[in-house]
Amino acid sequence: MSRVLVAGVDTSTQSTKVRVTDAETGEMVRFGQAKHPDGTSVNPDAWWQAFQEAAEQAGGLDDVAALAVGGQQHGMVLLDDHGRVIRDALLWNDTRSATNADVLIARLGEAEKAVDGSEDDLSDDPAMRGRQRWVKAVGSSLVASLTITKVAWVAANEPENAARIAAICLPHDWLSWRIAGHGPLGEDATAEEMKANLDALFTDRSDASGTAYFDATANEYRRDLLAMALGRGEEDIAGIVLPRVLGPTETGDVADPAIAGKDVEGGCPIGPGGGDNAMASLGLSMGVGDVSISLGTSGVAAAISPVPAYDMTASVTGFADCTGHWLPLACTINGSRISDAGRAALGVDYDELAELAAAAEPGAGGITLVPYFDGERTPNRPDATAALYGMTLANTRRENIARAFVEGLLCSQRDCLELVKGLGVDVKRILLIGGGTRFAAVRALAPAILDMDVELPETDEYVAIGAARQAAWVLSGETEPPTWPVKVETTLTGEPTPQVYEQYVRWRG
């Protein structure tokens, strides 16, 4: 009996990856990858071209029985009534809408607290009160990365484009839609054809929860907030299509047989897909109580929670996951580049930096790095810079400085972990992933500073694996996703050093 194949697609910021996978075992059968253009504003057609190239590298998708797409979150894709892209997509890392985020926060913060006592937990400061009202409405306060701020920027700066909006979707929504055979229609398309084309858009809770105009607890769009961002009345935007939000195992559409499933009876169903962080958690087989800490350009701590997260400090985003749970997430702007800064400052390579750090005692002789080189998101200090504290003539040695850089990196992630714990998440397991885990000093110090043993999964394409696992789940019709093994390279252990984090907190303030 021939094995059943599924495909997981990861349309990330940098590239599209296609992983053809054995649906029963999770074993990779074929793989392809193609780059995306650089920049924070990108024509979505580049994603389509990259998907086609990656699928071809993966040996084609004719024999694939189901697929799903995971993708970079928050990117704004605007379509006109013919399904044509109106302007380049603004990606999550495009910060031009920072001012628009502040304006929208201020709008919700204007009104005084309700006199009936329902808002007694809100701040007296209008700016914080605005952030907290956004948290209550959609689970997250606003920053420039969230989709609604980008919509507001277009409305304020490109009114002619805003007037043409017939549908708003996200990168994974758009690519799934194209794989199903939908796309721009000709000028001779009828009104019925145009409506059916846009109505075919679909998404999932995880990605929709990152727009800031979807309430993942009520599972409904907040069109009132979207109307506010567009500067229009709610009735005026009633015709704008927003993708259908599917449950974890629902089929969104069937792939165009010219693209996938041509040789499979019944064709290739397309799963709901999801945002990259949620898909990675599915690929890692994370469950309630698991936390992943990802060290890349940025740092991300994400937990699986059975209940929604409303962080009234406005530090943790209350996203949904891909399984019906929630994915509270805290993100730092500064990640593994902190160790790059340490290498540059000391004129050493990674191994030499690790050796220097290992030669110092925990606490780096009293030196602490607060590593906000590019400002910081967690805590929200956009104008901050990095600083070394506690330096004396006695402790200013290369070894202590090297250790301070590594400890600062890990303590900033401990901040994220503590915020997640503060929302009631009972952390049972930590998984450390991302390119920064290759640094020996991070491996050596992580369990001591995070105050827990740390599992180190083997380096792999976990977003694509998560998408493939979702596709297999949709295909199976079962209540739980298939059990695929996650290979753990090692479990890191170490004696806790609580004094290191306590010292960091004193200086961080």
Q: What is the pLDDT at residue 284?
A: 96
CA distances to 128, 164, 349 from 102, rounded to whole Å, are 11, 25, 41
CA distances to 92, 415, 443 from 332, rounded to whole Å, are 14, 9, 19
Q: What is the mean pLDDT of residues 33-39?
A: 95
- Grouping H, G, I as helix, E, B as strand and the rest as coil, residue 155 is helix
Average pLDDT, the chain: 96
Q: What is the pLDDT at residue 312?
A: 92
Q: What is the mean pLDDT of residues 413-427?
A: 94
Q: What is the pLDDT at residue 298?
A: 87
Count of positions (residues) in the chain: 509
Q: Could you tell me what percent of the chain has a pLDDT over 90?
A: 94
Distance CA 141, CA 149 (A): 11
Q: What is the mean pLDDT of residues 290-319?
A: 92
Q: How confident is the model at residue 321 (pLDDT cuts 50, 70, 90)?
A: very high
Q: What is the pLDDT at residue 7?
A: 98
Q: Could you tell me what percent of the chain has a pLDDT over 70?
A: 100
Cβ 350 vs Cβ 406: under 8 Å: no
User: The tokens of 341 are what?
Assistant: 């800064």
pLDDT in tens, 42-78: 999 999 999 999 999 999 999 999 999 999 999 999 9
Q: How confident is the model at residue 135 (pLDDT cuts 50, 70, 90)?
A: very high
pLDDT in tens, 158-208: 999 999 999 999 999 999 999 999 999 999 999 999 999 999 999 999 999
Distance CA 436, CA 28 (A): 24
Q: What is the pLDDT at residue 498?
A: 97
Q: Which of 8, 56, 53 is nearest to 28 (CA)?
A: 8
Distance CA 356, CA 479 (A): 51
pLDDT at residue 354 is higher than 80: yes
Q: What is the pLDDT at residue 177?
A: 98
Active site residue 276: yes
Q: Which of 133, 428, 143 is nearest to 310 (CA)?
A: 133
Cβ 390 vs Cβ 377: under 8 Å: no
Q: What is the mean pLDDT of residues 292-315?
A: 92
pLDDT at residue 433 is higher than 60: yes
Distance CA 482, CA 27 (A): 12
pLDDT at residue 464 is higher than 70: yes
User: Given CA atoms 202, 204, 210, 215 in this order, what sign does their dihedral have?
Assistant: positive
pLDDT in tens, 228-283: 999 999 999 999 999 999 999 999 999 999 999 999 999 999 999 999 999 999 99
Q: What is the pLDDT at residue 296?
A: 86
Of these residues, 94, 173, 256, 276, which one is catalytic? 276
Q: What is the pLDDT at residue 197?
A: 98
Q: What is the mean pLDDT of residues 276-298?
A: 93
pLDDT at residue 1 is higher than 60: no
Q: What is the pLDDT at residue 449?
A: 98
Q: State the SS3 of 163-230.
A: CCCCEEECHHHHHHHHHCCCCCCCCCCCHHHHHHHHHCCEEEHHHHCCCCCEECCCCEECHHHHHHHH
pLDDT at residue 382 is higher than 90: no
Q: What is the pLDDT at residue 326?
A: 96
Q: What is the mean pLDDT of residues 310-337?
A: 93
